[in-house]
């Protein structure tokens, strides 16, 4: 029996590769049949599997979104503060960059602005001149009427105001004239007081001259005959 068993083992070892290939083919065939059955079952239930997967994915997604919303709601103040800080930092960086660019190109920018403003002003002036050239007589007549109305209104208003305050102006004029007369009289009196000697001399000279002329007139009269 041992010899027979050994012979069988030797024959099996001689055909070992054949048996291994046969086993592999049998296993492969079995696995392929099982896969075909599974694919057939899966192909028949594809819609059900897709719906189940969609529901599962939707549930997981909704749960994740709700958790994220809850976390965001809990940290909303911090997130808003961080967003404000980040936006402010970005905005300041952008403003600083623009300022640096403007500082570098300031002379060119000023020259360009002046050229553009001058061009716009020249265009506006040309348009205004064209409009005024067509209606110049009407504009002149309108200006004359407006100026006349303004002048008449101002004159009537001043006249009425003066008529309403005539007593005040008369009293003011009287006071001004009295002040001017007193001032002139004071100046003359001060001048006379300062030059009293000269005034006295002039008066004496004038009186002497008057007396001499009177004496001459008396001496030049014809004498009466006895």
Range of lowest pLDDT (7-16, 146-155, 176-185): 7-16
Name the pLDDT band for 120 (thresholds 50, 70, 90): very high
Structure token digits, residue 11: 């024959």
For residues 210 and 208, what is the distance between their CA atoms, to the nearest angstrom? 5
Q: Mean pLDDT over residues 74-79, rounded?
A: 84
Mean pLDDT, rounded, of the chain? 86
pLDDT of residue 218: 77
Per-residue pLDDT tens for 172-210? 899 999 999 999 998 888 888 888 888 888 889 888 888
Q: Is the pLDDT of residue 221 over 70?
A: no
Residue 226 pLDDT > 60: no
* CB contact burial 159-195 (16+ within 10 A = b; e otherwise): eeeeeeeeeeeeeeeeeeeeeeeeeeeeeeeeeeeee
């Amino acid at each position: 029996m041992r010899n027979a068993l050994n012979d069988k083992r030797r024959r099996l070892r001689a055909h070992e590769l054949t048996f291994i290939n046969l086993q592999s083919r049998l296993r492969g065939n079995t696995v392929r049949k099982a896969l075909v059955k599974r694919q057939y079952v899966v192909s028949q239930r594809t819609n059900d599997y897709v719906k189940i997967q969609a529901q599962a994915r939707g549930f997981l997604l909704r749960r994740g979104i709700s958790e994220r919303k809850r976390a965001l709601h809990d940290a909303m103040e911090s997130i808003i503060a961080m967003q404000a800080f980040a936006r402010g930092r970005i905005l300041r960086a952008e403003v600083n960059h623009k300022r640096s660019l403007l500082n570098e190109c300031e002379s060119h920018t000023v020259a360009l602005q002046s050229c553009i403003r001058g061009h716009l002003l020249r265009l506006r002036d040309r348009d205004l001149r064209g409009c005024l050239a067509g209606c110049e007589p009407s504009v002149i007549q309108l200006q004359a009427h407006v100026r006349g109305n303004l002048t008449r209104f101002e004159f009537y208003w001043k006249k009425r105001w003066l008529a309403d305050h005539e007593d005040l102006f008369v009293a003011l004029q009287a006071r001004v004239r009295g002040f001017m007369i007193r001032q002139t009289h004071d100046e003359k009196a001060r001048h006379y007081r300062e030059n009293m000697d000269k005034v006295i001399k002039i008066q004496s000279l004038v009186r002497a001259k008057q007396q001499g002329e009177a004496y001459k007139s008396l001496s030049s009269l014809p004498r009466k005959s006895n």
